[in-house]
Amino acid sequence: MTAPTTVRCVLATLGLVLLGGCLEDLDNDGVVRIVCLGDSNTLPFGPQVPAPEPQSWCTKVAARLPQVLVPGGPNGEGVWKPTTFWSVAQGTAGAIDTGSSVNDGPEQVDLALVWLDPDVLVLSFGSADLLRGKTPAEINAGLLALAAQASSKRVYVALVPPLQTPICVEGLGPCESCPAGPIANICQAVTAQQPVTPMQFNEKVRELNDLIIASFPPGRTIDFYSIVNPLQVLGTPGDYADFVHFSPTGQQKRADKAFDWLFWGY
């Protein structure tokens, strides 16, 4: 009988059984390689460079990787090997190819498969697609196509995070009484091409996440949605650096959730 995925993940991380469950050396080259793909919130050092510490959830996970036990000893026994973690993310990338110079999802998957020999891919797309006016159904279809493109690998899909919904005056609701300027403009329309409020945009995010959860196998989605708080009083610390990018606190929450799913299976 095979142990449940969560049990096998825990046992593998502790070195009590050969690696299985969450992470596997799928190409049997003795190294487990994880590649994260996405937009500016997944860049190796986040959207704000230089920075005193790594800003990206991907980089934060890479800093705490354990060694894993994989087959490879002279007598077939397991040997300890490092896990490697790479990012091929680009700033405004989406799941759907735009034909621009930015490497969107299809190009990022190609780069990972050709150059990095990954065992695991983590797809963190969706925000840029929604900002371009793509529908949740179109984006979900794009994510499914990326997973099919990498069908020989273990693919995880991150739920799309909400946009920040700024609270301009403590005690009032989001976007109430915001003074004239960039924040008030965002509250009126997220972009000139996408004339919706942050609250309306986040309704689309929820719709997209429902489609992702329904479309991908159980255990293959990473919750980057519910772990952050989009309601933030301006001028106070929170999960967001601006209305779309995450602060170190927000990125750390994403890193913790990704680590838990990849290494513990929950």
Give 82-131 pLDDT, tens digit per residue: 678 888 999 899 999 999 888 999 999 999 999 999 999 999 999 999 99
Q: State the Cα–Cα distance between residues 9 and 83, nearest whole angstrom.
A: 14
- Calculate the alpha carbon distances from 223 to 104, 160, 227, 250, 256 in Å: 22, 8, 7, 13, 11
Per-residue model confidence as pLDDT tens digits over 117-140: 999 999 999 999 999 999 999 999
Q: State the Cα–Cα distance between residues 205 and 191, nearest whole angstrom.
A: 16
Domains and CATH numbers, the chain: 5-163+198-264 (3.40.50.1110)
Each residue of 19-48: pLDDT tens digit? Answer: 334 677 788 777 888 999 999 999 876 544
pTM for the complete prediction?
A: 0.86
